[in-house]
Amino acid sequence: MIREIAKYMYKYRWYAVLAPLCVAGEVLFEILIPRLMAAIVDVGIANTDLDYVLRTGGLMVLAAVCALILGLLAVRFSSKASMGFGAELRRGIFYKIQDFSFKNIDRFSVASLVTRLTADVSNCERASMLLMRMLTRSPVMLVSATLMAASINGELVWVFLVAIPVLAVALGLLITLSFPRFMRMLRKYDRMNATVQENLAAIRVVKSFVREGYEREKFDRATEELVDTSIQAEGIIVFNWPILNITMYSCIVAILWFGSQLTIGGQMLTGELLSFVGYVTQILTSLMMLSMGLIGIVTSKASLERIIEVLGEKVDITDEQADPALTVPDGGIEFRHVSFRYSGEAKEDTLKDINLSIRPGETIGIIGGTGSAKTTLVQLIPRLYEVSEGELRVGGHDVRDYTLDALRGAVSMVLQKNVLFSGTIEENLRWGDPNATHEQIVEAAKKAQADAFITSFPDGYNTVLGQGGVNLSGGQKQRLCIARALLAHPKILILDDSTSAVDTATDAKIREAFQSELGHVTTLIIAQRITSVMDADRIVVLDDGRIDGVGSNEELLRTNAIYRDVYESQQKGVA
């Protein structure tokens, strides 16, 4: 796990090396101060030698100034290293997510991924700073101060050396008990974030149904669960300070007791006792810092494991067998005994033995009941999911023979959920073709029946959209998404129920534009309305993941009961 994560520190490795070196230098200068203080007491004051006191005091000030400078440098270097490490780690996670297939994304909730990119990475940043500073300072201080204390009086050293194993056992027990609790706490963070995200994304629905009270209760439950698990985790950690303080002050009392006996007996000078107490204080303080640093790393270890889980996720759709020189020649599509299931643990396939051949330039309508796997079928074409069995060919080649960029560049897809981004309308449309001219953008908008409402805005194509296009109606967002897809100049265009929010007249105009302007483009139209697909060259009827019928509107009316029932029910509704 450390090797996996260490590469994200490489860019800032020199800062990561300099910070501990500065910390070590700071400690060594601090170690000199108690010894110099002992010399002032035992030599300067004992002999009333003011000159010696001033000279030695000057050395103490110099040592303190050097320690201060090195300490400031350590803070600067460790901050640069830890913040840079966090930025690189966050970038690595984000880039990894961009490579995920839909199946990979399904494994993690959006809220969990956001928590890992933010809170978990911040925990790792703090851990890296602890490693560079506190966990460097404490061992160096512990060893150096112990050697200095032993040089003053080897017998008294045993007083605090006995305390170290006690502290080590107590700390090990605290870490063992607290780690699983911190893991549960982070999962509760995920749940709370998911509640907030869901509420904010659907705030209009919440207000429409007057469900604010229910949402408050759901949020309160999530926060109370987080509080409870946090208390359980922190409730273990709080024992750390009392144990450390009891041990520290017990050692100091014991040393003062035995040390005073040695001083009275002439075996130890007063300045040496003061110096010894100073070193013991440094040693015990370093142990306290070490324990708190290790506790902090325990929290970070839980975050680190969650980050490694994302970074270590195996991307199931790659370009391993692709030919980089191969491009999609046309929009022909062929399903050969294709089956698909969302996971290996699934008891049955979502799509079952699909056989379908679609000619380049053909318009195919796809209908079926809810859960009939219409969307799943078309998502296999650009390899958003990988087929589980069988073969899917586009342009005469297996889809795995193309690079993902080449395949997806030839397939434009308007999903069920219309997604727009913050920015202007024109910036959103340029997702289809970043190099498109304004005239090409306008032409695509006209085909999608979007130009009229765009130009009705005061700023036209420069109208700024809110996040997700919240200042547009559902039908307007659908038409912009269609225009964006058309700008990509695809060989295959997939419309997944993408005109459900527009009126029938506008729907008819869009289909008319497709027939006249996109005759060379293979078009797949998923729709609930029969009128959206009845003019297609062929219509595919799906039922429970199987093809129940294929044919024209007239043919299916004669031969397919499912199609006929849908047609008649919708026609009656019109009548």
333-571 CATH fold: Rossmann fold (3.40.50)
Task: Enumerate residues 6+ apart whose C-beta is below 8 A from 416.
Answer: 375, 496, 497, 498
pLDDT band at 1 (very low <50, low <70, confident <90, very high): low
How high is the pLDDT of residue 355?
94
Whether the CB-CB separation of 469 and 453 falls below 8 Å is answered with no
Task: Enumerate residues 6+ apart whose C-beta is below 8 A from 19.
Answer: 74, 77, 78, 81, 132, 133, 136
Task: Enumerate residues 6+ apart whose C-beta is below 8 A from 571.
Answer: 530
Alpha carbon distance 215, 202 (integer Å): 11
Q: Is 239 helix (H, G, I), strand (E, B) or coil?
A: coil
Whether the CB-CB separation of 96 and 121 falls below 8 Å is answered with no
Whether the CB-CB separation of 31 and 145 falls below 8 Å is answered with yes
Q: Percent of the chain having pLDDT more than 90?
A: 18
Q: What are phi and psi of 385, to 5 degrees?
A: -125, 155
Alpha carbon distance 156, 158 (integer Å): 5
Packed helices 50-99 and 270-311: angle between N→C axes, nearest 10 degrees: 10
Mean pLDDT of 492-513: 76
Alpha carbon distance 449, 480 (integer Å): 9
Place of tokens 């040393």: 255
Query: What are the residue ranges of CATH 3.40.50.300 in the chain?
Result: 333-571
How high is the pLDDT of residue 278?
76
Alpha carbon distance 138, 140 (integer Å): 6
Alpha carbon distance 498, 441 (integer Å): 19
Query: What are the residue ranges of CATH 1.20.1560.10 in the chain?
Result: 2-311
Task: Give pLDDT tens digits for 424-435.
Answer: 889 989 988 888
Mean pLDDT of 556-569: 89
Top pLDDT among 279 and 520 is at 520
- How many CA atoms within 13 Å lie on the side-chain side of 511? 27
Mean pLDDT of 83-89: 91
Question: Which amino acid, residue 256?
Answer: L
Task: Enumerate residues 6+ apart whose C-beta is below 8 A from 477.
Answer: 418, 420, 469, 501
DSSP 43: I
* pLDDT, the chain, mean: 83
Task: Give pLDDT tens digits for 180-224.
Answer: 787 788 788 778 877 887 777 667 677 767 778 888 888 888 888
Sign of the dihedral through C-alpha 137, 288, 154, 258: positive
Mean pLDDT of 130-148: 79
Q: What stretches of 448-547 show up as alpha helix (H) in DSSP? A: 451-455, 474-487, 504-517
DSSP 449: T
Ranges 102-106, 201-205, 231-235, 262-266: which has the least confidence: 201-205
We find that the CATH architecture of domain 2-311 is: Up-down Bundle (1.20)
Whether the CB-CB separation of 452 and 476 falls below 8 Å is answered with no
Mean pLDDT of 59-78: 92
How high is the pLDDT of residue 575?
47
Q: Assess whether pLDDT exceeds 90 at residue 40.
A: no
Ranges 256-260, 313-317, 338-342, 350-354: which has the least confidence: 256-260
